[in-house]
Chain A
Amino acid sequence: MHLSPEKLCELDEIAYQIRRLSLEMITFGKWGHIGGAFSMAEFLSVLYFQAMSVKPDAPQWEDRDRLVLSKAHGSPALYAVLALRGFYPIEQVYSYCELGGFEGHTDMARTPGLESSGGPLGMGLSVAVGMALAMRFNENARGRVFCILGDGESNEGNVWEAAMSAAHYHLDNLIAVIDYNKVMAKGFVWEEMAIEPFADKWRAFGWDVIEVDGHDIEALADTFHRARWVMPRGKPIVVIAHTVKGKGVEMAEFNYKWHTHAPDAQTADAMLRELARNCQRPEQGYSKLGAEEVKEEFYGGE
């Protein structure tokens, strides 16, 4: 799988913009999950700008690929990539967590391009299995269903019910992507609930497994290409993407305290400047600094 230098630059830029927009959304919306949004930036960029077939001007196009975000608290990153891909104007992402705007957790009625609604962990893979079965019923051989799960999410029993059924129905049109960012809401994965040997668990459930550096764009592109076009042989495929929670800003990296936490405007400004430096971009701070003042402060404590 060869990507041109231009394409690599584009995907890298998209990943950077996903992080910027996510941080702005979470700051302006006063709620959200920075760590789990940042860890997904590269693979969301590769999925929506390289691997998946979607038509932003026809979101309901029947033969499109589907993506279920099972770890639905990662919504800011998904809202960002959908905006960047052209499903809606970028300004719309700032309605995140506002009454009537984009929901904190995914609500497909609010956001064009979303394929499912979610929030409680462990439920998305079943929904993806249903979609993959539907493609079989519709005799759609090209379509693929992608499902993004968190690592901690695999503590949920429903994940393994779904995994078992996907293998039972030989759903090789289903590709699960695990954001293995090593940190849960209140600590490291290995502290909270041991999930290793993780790849072996999936293999034992009848899946083909690919492990990949979840921040390496070339490796991700190659992985999704293989998962989609080379590997299907009667088994569902799981891509275990090894990532860094909070990747891009030091104070958030591998730090559970930034699992659910909205920075104030000054902290967001510093984080965005650091992110720009780390990504060799011109330094750019929090663009909503002025707008912050117009937000309702009366109820406080949010």
Chain B
Amino acid sequence: MVENRVSGEFGNNPVEMRDAFGATLVELGRQYPKMITLDADLHTSSKATMFKKAYPDRFVQVGIAEQNLFGISAGLALSGFMPFPSTFAVFATRRALDQIAISICFPNLNVKIPGSYVGLPTSRAGASHNCIEDIAVMRALPNMRVADPADGADLRAIMRAAAAVEGPVYFRIARMAMPPIFGADHKFEWGKGVLLREGRDVTLFGTGIMTTFCLRAADLLAGEGISAEVIHLGSIKPIDRELIAESAARTGCAVTAENATINGGFGAAVLEVLGEECPVPLQRIGVRDRWVDSGGIKELFTHHGMQPEDIAAAAKVAMCDKRRRSQ
């Protein structure tokens, strides 16, 4: 399965996001006695199994029944517990959308929803299992917070921040090992982005694992004498409007990159901010209104035009557009 781990390419002790997820579940379980992890027959894949081993009495197996998974979570939250209903992102956000929307989000219940196996890297399962529209769908729900972590430390910080805030949260977990961007002391704040690299010519806005791809793209661009700013927006909703507008105003053009469809997702969220506050030429990297096929992970990123090279090329298009408009 080495081909499924782009990590080798990134070097530097990559951390499997799922391991960070399982370990943080256990950490939070220690801190929050009212936390309960629920599962729909996928715990060894998602690594929720680490929580099951640590706290078997606070682990609830519901079988392959995602609608029931979220309904039960609502009932537990209404009784003062903090449920983490864990399953693959596709089954959470497609199969159980009504339960998430009306049983959980509408009454603003304290349920933390991990969406596992997001975007392209999901083994070779194909379109049914590649969750690409979850950002768009989840961010459309009132009361819901949405986050997509860049690395293991970011995921841990997001989970801590999810537990610390009252109300529903949806966060993404890619089935991928990522090189550390953030240190162990990394803090996550809702609605705050992180400036990772300053630049003058173009801003690369990344979320989730694509932030690492943006950093790689910035290296490629630097080789061509282009100074790219890189901003990580782990908090997709709420989003850091101030940082987005401020950076775009400075560089004059931007690229967004997400491990998801560009329709209504992260790029669209950035575009909404720019459209309202600081219209600049923008290119979006992500899945372009199509289903994701089976295939090797590296192959898929190339096929869908989501490699660092594609981000760098998009940056040059945005810069060209900026020049043309200023003439």
Contact = CB atoms under 8 A, between A and B. Distances in A.
A and B physically associate: yes
Interface of A: 66, 68, 107-109, 115-120, 122-135, 137-138, 157-158, 161-162, 164-165, 168
12 contacts: A115-B78, A118-B103, A123-B102, A126-B70, A127-B72, A134-B76, A137-B36, A137-B58, A161-B62, A161-B67, A162-B68, A165-B65
Contact of B67 (A107, A109, A123): A123
Contact of B107 (A117, A122, A158): A117
B71 A126 contact: yes
Contacts of B106: 107, 117
Contacts of B67: 122-123, 126, 157-158, 161
Top 7 nearest A-B pairs (CB, nearest first) are A130-B75, A126-B71, A134-B79, A161-B68, A161-B65, A130-B72, A131-B75
Given A115-B78, A128-B75, 6 more contacts: A116-B74, A131-B79, A133-B72, A158-B67, A161-B63, A161-B67
B73 interface: yes
A227 B62 CA distance: 25
Nearest to A115: B78
B168 to A, nearest CB: 13
Nearest to A147: B75
A154 to B, nearest CB: 14
Given A127-B78, A129-B75, A135-B79, A165 B103 contact: no
Q: Which among A118, A130, A164 has the greatest number of chain B C-beta atoms within 10 A?
A: A130
A127 B103 CA distance: 8
Contact of A109 (B79, B102, B107): B107
Interface in B53-70: 58, 60, 62-63, 65, 67-68, 70
Contact of B98 (A123, A130, A131): A123
Given A161-B67, A164-B65, A165-B68, A118 B102 contact: yes
B81 A134 contact: yes
Interface residues of B, number: 28
For the complex, would chain A's binding face be called helix, strand, loop or mixed by DSSP majority?
A: helix
Contacts of B36: 137
A138 B33 CA distance: 12
B62 to A, nearest CB: 6
A66 B63 CA distance: 25
Contact of B63 (A122, A123, A158, A164): A164
Interface string B33-61: 00010000000000000000000001010
Contacts, number: 102
B55 to A, nearest CB: 12
Nearest to B70: A126
B130 interface: no
Given A118-B102, A161-B65, A126 B72 contact: yes
Nearest to B36: A137
Contacts of A168: 63
Q: Which among B36, B83, B107 has the greatest number of chain A C-beta atoms within 10 A?
A: B107
B81 A117 contact: no
A126 B75 CA distance: 7
B80 A123 contact: no
A40 to B, nearest CB: 21
A218 B33 CA distance: 44
B99 interface: yes
Contacts of A107: 106-107
Contacts of B73: 130
Contacts of A162: 68, 71-72
Interface in B217-251: none
B252 to A, nearest CB: 45
A161 B58 CA distance: 21
Nearest to A157: B67
A168 B78 CA distance: 21
Q: Which among B63, B71, B107 has the greatest number of chain A C-beta atoms within 10 A?
A: B71
A185 B76 CA distance: 31
Given A126-B75, A130-B71, A130-B74, A165 B81 contact: no
A122 to B, nearest CB: 8
Contacts of B74: 116, 126-127, 130
Contacts of B108: 109
Contacts of A117: 102-103, 106-107
Contact of B79 (A119, A122, A138): A138
Contacts of B75: 68, 116, 126-134
Contact of B99 (A126, A129, A165): A126
A132 B58 CA distance: 14
Contacts of A138: 79
Contacts of A131: 75-76, 78-79
A134 B80 contact: yes
A129 B65 contact: no
A130 B102 contact: no
Nearest to B66: A161
Contact of B71 (A109, A119, A125): A125
Nearest to B62: A165
Nearest to A108: B107
B86 to A, nearest CB: 15
A185 B308 CA distance: 55
Contact of A123 (B62, B77, B81, B103): B103
Q: Which among A117, A157, A164 has the greatest number of chain B C-beta atoms within 10 A?
A: A117
B60 A116 contact: no
Contacts of A165: 62-63, 65, 68, 72
A130 B63 contact: no
A135 B98 CA distance: 25
Nearest to B101: A120
Q: Which among A108, A161, A164 has the greatest number of chain B C-beta atoms within 10 A?
A: A161
